[in-house]
Every structure is written in C-alpha cells, then in structure tokens.
Amino acid sequence: MKTKIIPYIVILFSFTFLFTSCNETTYKIYTGNAPVFMTYNELRAAVATEQDVELENPGKIYFKDDFIFIVEERKGIHVFDNSNPSSPVKRTFVSIPGVVDISISGNILYADSYIDLVVLDLQDINNIHEVTRVKDILPYAVPPADNDYPMAWVDENKGVVTGWEVKKIREASEHYNPMYPIYKQEDFYDQVSASGASSGVSGSGVGTGGSMARFGIKGNILYILGQYEIKILDITSKTNPLLKGSTYSVWGSETMFLTDKYMFIGTTTGMIIFDLSIPLSPQQNNFFTHANSCDPVIVDDTLAYITLRTGTTCGGSTNVLSVVNIKNIDSPKLVMTYSMTNPHGLGKDDDLLFICDGSAGLKIFDAADPKTITSHLIKAYSDIHAYDVIPFNGILILIGDDGLYQYDYSDIMNISLLSSIVIPGR
C-alpha cells in the first residue's frame, strides 16, 4: 500500500514546486502607513444617532432654522439648537463615517460619506435618520497619513480607508510605490434641557454654510465640488438625488460660493467664475489668477474677497486678503491686497468683514472702502485659532480649533461674546 502512495506524493510535490516557481512574486519590506479598512457593508450600515458625543475635532459649520450643524471630521455631525444663541443646546450627534461636507434643502440634509452621498431626514431632530444614499458617486479618498512614512498600496476592494497604522509592510513589488498617488480627503476641520426648542428643521428654504464649503444648492440643483470637477445633481425630489452630469473645473479646486447668477470656485491657483444661467450646465466664464495657495472666496455685490494662506499642501508663501472687482464679470480686476497672518475662512454682512486669521484669531473690519480695509479694524480676538464663520442677522457663528463661539455684532461699537462651547484641553 505504501509503495503506491509515495509516488503520488512525489508527483504532487513536483507540481506544487513548478507552480510556485513559474509564478514567483518578489516582495518589498518597508516601514510605512498601512491602511485600516472599513468594509462597504459596514460603511453603509453605520449611520446612527448618539448622545453624549463631545466635540473633539470640529470641521465645517452649517446653519438653518435656529440649528447649528458642526462636522466632526470624518466621524459625524453635532446638532445644536440655537434658538437662544446665548445658550445653545446640544441635541444629538449623527454618526457618518467619512463626512467632511454638508448642505441642507428644506428638511433634507446631504452629506458625503467617503465614496457615497448620504441623504438624511431632519423633520424630527430627535429622530434624524438616513432615507437613501447615492453609492459610489464620490472619488475614492483616504484620510491624512503620517508624512514621515510612505503609504502602502490600497486595495479598494477591501472597503474605505478610515485610518493608518505605521508598521512593517510586506508588499508585492508590483504594488510598491512610496509616492502612491491617491486623492486625500480635505483636512479641509453639556447637554441641557431642550424645553421649548423647535421639533425639527422646516421643509422650506436652504441653509447657510461657511466659506470653506464644497457643497452648494441653487434651487433644485445640488453642486458637489471635487478636486477637479463639479458633480451636478437634480434634487427636485429631495430624497431621490439624480446625477445629471459633471463639469471640469481645474485640479486643486477647494471651495464653492454661489450667488443668484454665478458660482465662484476657489482653487490653489486662482478663482474660477461659472455662469449658472443654465443650472444643469454651468459654463466657465472667467479665471482670476493668483499666487499658488489655499483659497476660500466669498462674494458681496460687485466685490470678491479671497484669502490665501501658507502651511498647507497647497504650497505657496503668501498670507493675504485680496479684494477683486467683479462688476464686469468678464474682466475681474484686483483692487487691493492686504497682508495677513494665516487667513482661513471669512464672511461679510453689509460693510462688516469677518476674517479668521488662523493663530491671530478673529478680526472684524469695516470694509466700506475696499482700498483701506486694514486701516479700519473694529475688533480683534487673538485668543482663538479661528477656522470659519457664518454671519447671520447680527449673530456671528465661529468655529475654531478649540470650539464654537458666537458673537452679537448688531451694535458694531459694542460687539460682545454670547456663548462658547470649548473643547476641554484646547
């Protein structure tokens, strides 16, 4: 019996050896950023409301119907009832993996969740829930990694990357590439009785985002800005967004600001102006070139205000506020440039200009004369690392590295702090 078995074993071993020899793979071993994955099934089952989730890493802000929405970057959204700005009430936290941007039409909220667009119902703030999602509409993106080490190859079939772990990596040589070119997500940043608070967000109108926004709504159209293109979705049926197409902007597109007739895109190399006469088909009207730098932009009547800053992946060595005359939309002209410390987001209400000047804090100017803005500083709050603002009806909502601040500026000679929600230890 044994004499019959041995020849079969030898033959089997020979075939295994030949198979391995003919398909030999070489490997590279190095220390790098290894991806931590969340499967697609886990991603699409992760939206849920939670209580007692503290603000830790605030990002973009949004305001609608006395509610403030603060993005906890790549984790979810904090919802505050702001019926009384002197005492905002924490209502809930909505867990949405990968979220960076949001926008609201009526009582429907749109948020990115890595590669998906998630649609949430806000009619009952105590019961925010997902009603649908548009899968695979956004580019595959990864969070920031430790720049001291290369990123390992990312197998997109395993799911989305939620983080990185620095460790020894054994990788097939065909995949080894320390400069692996994959799109990175933008780094772009006490519960009390809710007695008397409104029950939810109204079914009409749209909300207001900060100057760092990548989502914008005009009528029944939702625009989503990517690194080099604008996705265009029909939201006539708010709970059933339909992708209608996309249009190219330029590589390095960062922020979006909408007016009645135009879309202004802040990019790392300049400001792009799109004509929205045909909302489903934006047409590029002009391009105003500036120094290579990160660039949020806002527009007020015939003037555009642009901040440029250093210290980011955008490159450049400029920290300024630029004012551009757009009265002739076909020929934007620079009015004045002002030196700043490290300007981020900005907002404007009538003649008041609010600038988040990074570590230099919040600065409030009288901008009635665009040629003498920095000569008319009204107030400065240097103890805040300011990121973005929303001025609305005499109340300024500010988000910074250390939390949320609100100011009453209805009397410009007596601007006062109304409330703050400060992150412990910041």
With a CB cutoff of 8 Å and minimum separation 6, the contacts of 296 are 211, 212, 254, 255, 266, 306, 307, 344, 345, 346, 388
Q: What secondary structure does DSSP assign to 114-140, as a single string?
A: TTEEEEEE-SSGGG-EEEEEETT-S--
What was the pLDDT predicted at 97?
A: 96
Q: Which residues lie across from 29 on neighbouring strands?
A: 170
Residue 174 covered by a domain? yes
Q: What is the mean pLDDT of each run of 10 residues along the chain (426 residues)?
A: 37 36 74 96 97 93 96 96 97 97 97 97 96 96 88 95 95 65 41 35 81 94 93 97 94 90 91 95 87 78 92 69 95 96 95 95 97 97 93 96 96 94 83
User: What distance in Å separates the CA atoms of residue 303 and residue 279, rounded to the nearest whole number?
Assistant: 22
Q: In degrees, to the nearest 5, what angle opens at C-alpha 230 toward C-alphas 226 and 236?
A: 120
User: What distance in Å separates the CA atoms of residue 400 and residue 423, rounded to the nearest whole number?
Assistant: 10
Q: Give the SS3 label for residue 46.
A: coil
> For residues 79 and 94, is the Cβ–Cβ distance under 8 A?
yes
Q: Give the SS3 label for residue 355.
A: strand
Classify each residue of 148-163 as buried b or exposed e, where b means 16 or more C-beta atoms within 10 Å of its C-beta: ebbbbbbeeeebbbbe
Q: In degrees, to the nearest 5, what angle opens at C-alpha 386 toward C-alphas 381 and 389?
A: 100
Cα 117 from chain centroid? 13
What was the pLDDT predicted at 294?
A: 64
Strand order in the sheet with 403-408: 386-392, 395-400, 403-408, 416-422
What was the pLDDT predicted at 192?
A: 30
> For residues 72 and 56, is the Cβ–Cβ distance under 8 A?
yes
* Token pair listed for 385: 């690392």
Residue 261 covered by a domain? no
Q: Give the SS3 label for residue 168.
A: strand
* Token pair listed for 68: 């403030």
As for how many domains the chain has, the answer is 1
Enclosing domain of residue 143: 28-209
Closest to 166 in 3D by CA, of 186, 142, 147, 185: 147
Strand order in the sheet with 67-72: 48-50, 89-95, 76-81, 67-72, 58-64, 208-209
Residue 373 covered by a domain? no
What was the pLDDT predicted at 292?
A: 59
Residue 138 covered by a domain? yes
Residue 349 covered by a domain? no
Residue 122 covered by a domain? yes
Phi and psi at residue 89, in whole multiples of 5°?
-110, 125
Predicted confidence (pLDDT) per residue in 268-299, tens digit: 888 999 999 999 999 998 888 765 566 789 99
Residue type for position 425: G
Residue 319 covered by a domain? no
User: What distance in Å separates the CA atoms of residue 91 and residue 69, rounded to the nearest whole number?
Assistant: 10
What was the pLDDT predicted at 372?
A: 98
What was the pLDDT predicted at 198?
A: 35
> For residues 354 and 361, is the Cβ–Cβ distance under 8 A?
no
Residue 41 covered by a domain? yes
What was the pLDDT predicted at 202?
A: 62
What was the pLDDT predicted at 295?
A: 73
